[in-house]
């Protein structure tokens, strides 16, 4: 996929500007993520507090995606992207105030603002990819989505692990603000370079967007990301809580594990051949195998004798999970029309948030009583069985190959 992505970047000037803009804004968001989790780990917060921080990092995206879905019927995708980045820039007032007045609660709310803006990005980004790419280029959209959102933690955490404790936190937040300003400028450039007159329209009145009217293949495509959240959210929420269980764990091992997680998320989709995306997105056995691999890797983390092996396990786990994510994203792009893809993506994202919120809260409460590893075993295995049941239910009706 990497070579195909390079070719697409050469063909589409708007894609170059769009990609650079999102990567720049994600650097600052990742820095804020490091500040929040670094302070929680330093204060030896209980697992439930870590789970709450993780919950605030994505749950407000529900409202953001709902608002963006409605606005996408009357606004251009680039207008929504510019609005989202502008709100993210304004939201940086919260952490500045929090650091000045030692308000940890406001610092946590900063992640809520970032999540709201991330939710707003989902519909317009899917509309841009669906309208700007040919059908054979749609696998690249899945890889780019992963790149944009993995970079939210990947580049910021990579820089944050190096700078946290060495540079004043307000300086890190100034870098955050600079990244948002740069992103806004690049989005303006991308809008000018986008030659298509893409103005999304609502679904045709004769084919309203209702669950009952969708084909089985479309229904399955919308359920794959929520199933991934059901399996993966407990482990992801408690990843920092697994760090103290490692022998000779260093002070920054929790942040290093988070970095390994995002690195795996980035690499996963790029291991898939572009020409096989359609077949692999219909393969139940491949996706269930990846989900099983994810769980096995996480459960092995407390058992390994060294930090380096633990980092490799977390990396491998998220290679597996984001193979499923990329295939699920491709399924949505390929199975819905231009008029419906933004709505389908936004609703799938909201279902994913609801499932992630419920499983994260449950996992945090269980971890306080039973321990992080036991909570992950109970909830992730339950999610795996439910995901297997959903896939089996749609296997024949959707005409899947496995």
65-103 residue pLDDT tens? 999 988 988 888 999 999 999 998 888 888 788 777 777
Is position 202 within any domain?
Answer: no
Which range is least confidently modeled, 104-108, 221-225, 385-389?
104-108
Provide the pLDDT for residue 150.
65
Q: How large is the angle between the packed helices 104-132 and 93-101, nearest 10 degrees?
A: 160
Model pLDDT for residues 6-19, shown as the tens digit of each residue: 888 888 888 889 98
167 three-class SS:
strand
The answer to whether residues 115 and 223 belong to one domain is no
Is position 203 within any domain?
Answer: no
Considering 156, 171, 196, which residue would you say is the last residue of a domain? Answer: 196
Give bridge partners of residue 164 from the DSSP assignment.
167
Mean pLDDT of 183-192: 92
Is position 201 within any domain?
Answer: no
Is position 307 within any domain?
Answer: yes
Give the DSSP per-residue string, 330-364. HHHHHHS-HHHHHHHHHHHHHHHHHHHHHHHHHHH
Cβ 139 vs Cβ 274: under 8 Å: yes
* Domain span holding position 287: 211-397
The answer to whether residues 310 and 232 belong to one domain is yes
Q: Which residues of 365-377 are buried (b: 16+ CB within 10 A; e: fewer)?
A: ebbbeebbbebbb
Model pLDDT for residues 233-265, shown as the tens digit of each residue: 888 777 766 666 665 555 566 667 777 887 888
Q: Which has more pLDDT, 189 or 49?
A: 189
The answer to whether residues 101 and 247 belong to one domain is no
186 three-class SS:
helix
Cβ 209 vs Cβ 218: under 8 Å: no
Mean pLDDT of the chain: 80
DSSP character at residue 202: P
Provide the pLDDT for residue 205.
41
The answer to whether residues 239 and 309 belong to one domain is yes
Does 127 score more than 70 pLDDT? yes
Mean pLDDT of 152-173: 74
Q: What is the CATH number of the domain that holds 190?
A: 1.20.1250.20
282 three-class SS:
coil
Counting residues of the chain whose pLDDT is more than 70, the rounded percentage is 82
Does 197 score more than 50 pLDDT? no
The answer to whether residues 175 and 224 belong to one domain is no
Task: Report the domain count for the chain.
Answer: 2
Task: Kindly give, in sequence order, each residue whose CB lies less than 8 Å from that of residue 210, ignoring residues fewer than 6 positions away.
Answer: none
The answer to whether residues 272 and 349 belong to one domain is yes
Model pLDDT for residues 271-306, shown as the tens digit of each residue: 888 888 888 888 888 999 999 999 999 888 878 877
Q: Which has more pLDDT, 164 or 333?
A: 333
Q: Which residues of 316-341 are buried (b: 16+ CB within 10 A; e: fewer)?
A: bbbbbbbbbbbbbbbbbbbbbeebbb
Return the closest-CA partner of residue 55 out of 355, 264, 366, 260.
355
Is position 206 within any domain?
Answer: no
Is position 374 within any domain?
Answer: yes
Task: Kindly give, in sequence order, each residue whose CB lies less than 8 Å from that of residue 380, ignoring residues fewer than 6 positions away.
Answer: 231, 232, 234, 235, 295, 298
Does 209 score more than 80 pLDDT? no
How many alpha carbons fall within 13 Å on the CB side of residue 340?
21
């Amino acid at each position: 996929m990497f070579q195909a992505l390079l070719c697409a970047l050469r063909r589409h000037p708007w894609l170059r500007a769009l990609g650079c803009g999102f990567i720049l804004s994600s650097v600052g968001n990742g820095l804020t993520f490091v500040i929040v989790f670094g302070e929680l780990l330093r204060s030896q917060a209980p697992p439930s507090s870590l789970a709450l921080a993780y919950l605030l990092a994505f749950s407000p995206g529900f409202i953001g995606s709902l608002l963006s879905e409605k606005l996408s019927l009357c606004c251009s995708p680039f207008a929504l992207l510019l609005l989202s980045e502008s709100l993210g820039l304004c939201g940086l007032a919260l952490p500045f105030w929090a650091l000045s007045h030692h308000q940890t609660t406001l610092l946590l709310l900063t992640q809520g603002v970032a999540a709201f803006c991330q939710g707003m990005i989902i519909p317009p980004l899917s509309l841009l990819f669906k309208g700007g790419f040919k059908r054979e280029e749609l696998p690249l959209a899945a890889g780019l989505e992963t790149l944009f959102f993995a970079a939210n933690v990947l580049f910021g955490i990579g820089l944050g692990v190096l700078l946290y404790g060495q540079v004043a936190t307000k300086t890190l937040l100034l870098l955050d603000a600079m990244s948002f300003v740069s992103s806004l400028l690049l989005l303006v450039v991308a809008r000018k370079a986008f030659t298509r007159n893409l103005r999304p329209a609502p679904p045709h009145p004769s084919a309203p967007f209702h669950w009952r009217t969708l084909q089985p293949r479309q229904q399955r495509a919308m359920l794959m990301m929520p199933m991934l959240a059901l399996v993966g959210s407990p482990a992801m929420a408690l990843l920092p809580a697994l760090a103290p269980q490692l022998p000779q764990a260093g002070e920054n091992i929790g942040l290093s594990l988070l970095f390994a997680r995002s690195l795996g998320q980035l690499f996963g989709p790029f291991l898939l051949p572009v020409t096989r995306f359609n077949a692999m997105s219909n393969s139940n056995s491949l996706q269930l195998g990846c989900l099983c691999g994810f769980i096995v890797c996480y459960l092995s983390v407390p058992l390994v004798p060294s930090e380096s092996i633990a980092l490799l396990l977390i990396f491998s786990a998220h290679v597996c999970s984001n193979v499923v994510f990329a295939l699920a994203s491709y399924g949505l792009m390929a199975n819905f029309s231009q008029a419906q893809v933004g709505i389908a993506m936004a609703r799938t994202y909201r279902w994913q948030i609801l499932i992630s919120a419920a499983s994260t809260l449950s996992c945090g409460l269980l971890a306080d009583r039973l321990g992080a590893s036991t909570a992950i075993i109970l909830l992730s295995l339950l999610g795996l069985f439910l995901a297997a049941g959903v896939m089996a239910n749609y296997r024949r009706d959707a005409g899947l190959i496995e």
